[in-house]
Amino acid sequence: MSKFVVKHVAVLGAGVMGAQIAAHLANAGVPVTLFDLAAAEGDRNGIVKKALAGLKKLEPAPLAGAARIALITPANYDDHLDALRGCDLVIEAIAERMDWKTALYERIAPHVSPNAIIASNTSGLSIDALANALPASLRDRFCGIHFFNPPRYMRLVEIIATSHTQASVLDQLETWLTSTLGKGVVRALDTPNFVANRIGVFSILAAMHHTARLGLGFDEVDALTGPKIGRPKSATYRTADVVGLDTLAHVVGTMEKNLPDDPWHRYFQLPQWLSALIQKGALGQKTGAGVYRKQ
Ligand code: NAD
């Protein structure tokens, strides 16, 4: 197997995951170009600046804050697509919508190096369907790369091949993730929500279902599903706020749409009150309001 040398990574999307993945890479000394949509009007790099401001709050090990920030270059899709040409790895981490992701792939494809690996951080959309938005020449270098939140601390990364992915691409990616980022890699099949989210999201839904059935409060459920059972960062409703309620809704929607014969199918939906929060724009930690802090 030829060695996969990653000199520069492009991360597409500076949201909850993209910004943290960029910070994590910079922590490991890997230069990153962090793309995001230009602000609709006014300050074109507003979103990217916000993401970078958030990065400064992360723990600085092993690189100090300023050195890490210097490794991250903000970019937008209008003026900086040429920067993709110099990237060996492109990690897409935009919102969990098939239509938005495929539209972006069509836009970036002419600018990506033919030797780059392109990978999606989707939580569970079909990697095969995403691959189809790429030209045939890039399709065999595309796969899923599913980091968990927060990527700096969560060791697991699922990698997912399509029917087109060259075997060497997964081998190279696994070696790089293990040696450069210290990750524990699991190869998952291209099934809805892969492995960890298929189980994890179901456990969140089960806890939400029983919250209403047993008349419990959020804090009571979190006390029962969090630190006291050895899951300091995984209490149900805190996790929902950290993930983002809209992202959680998309991930649940993937199971609802694509697993019609699952015996638990009728539980694949969020409670009404949580959908109402999303409607109001209270999406969890990223908007400053969610299950815990109401608008
Ligand atoms: P987010 O909502 O925090 O950020 C989404 C980003 O996508 C934003 O920066 C936004 O500007 C960008 N975006 C939105 N529409 C776009 C478009 N049409 N074209 C280009 N960019 C667009 O989302 P997130 O939580 O960072 O999730 C990103 C991806 O990572 C999703 O696929 C999600 O399923 C996956 N993921 C999320 C988590 C989590 O805990 N939040 C964990 C693992 C994987």
User: Element (H or E) spanning 120, and its range?
Assistant: strand 117-120
Between 231 and 143, residue with greater pLDDT: 143
Residue 91 near residue 10, CB atoms below 8 Å: yes
Residue type, 223: A
For the segment 106-161, what is each residue's pLDDT rounded down to a tens digit?
999 999 999 999 999 999 999 999 999 999 999 999 999 999 998 988 999 999 99
3-class DSSP state for residue 284?
Answer: strand
Mean pLDDT of 175-179: 97
> What's the gap in Å between 244 CA and the centre of ligand 1?
9
Q: Is the ipTM of this complex over 0.95?
A: yes
User: What's the pLDDT tens digit per position in 50-62?
Assistant: 666 666 665 555 5
Contacts of 228 (CB under 8 A, 6+ apart): none
Q: What residue's CA is closest to ligand 1, atom 18?
A: 100
d(CA 149, CA 104): 23
- Atom number, ligand 1, closest to the C-alpha of residue 244: 41
Task: Tell whether the torsion through CA atoms of 25, 150, 130 and 182 is positive or negative.
Answer: positive
Nearest CA to ligand 1 atom 43: 148
Question: Which atom of ligand 1 lies at the shortest distance from residue 246's CA?
Answer: 2
Task: Go through 76-102 and write b for each residue having 16 or more CB atoms within 10 A of its CB, e for each that does not.
Answer: bbeebbeebeebbbbbbbbebeeeebb
Specify the amino acid at residue 143: C
Q: Is 47 in the pocket of ligand 1 (CB under 6 A)?
A: yes
Q: Residue with structure tokens 């979103």?
A: 47
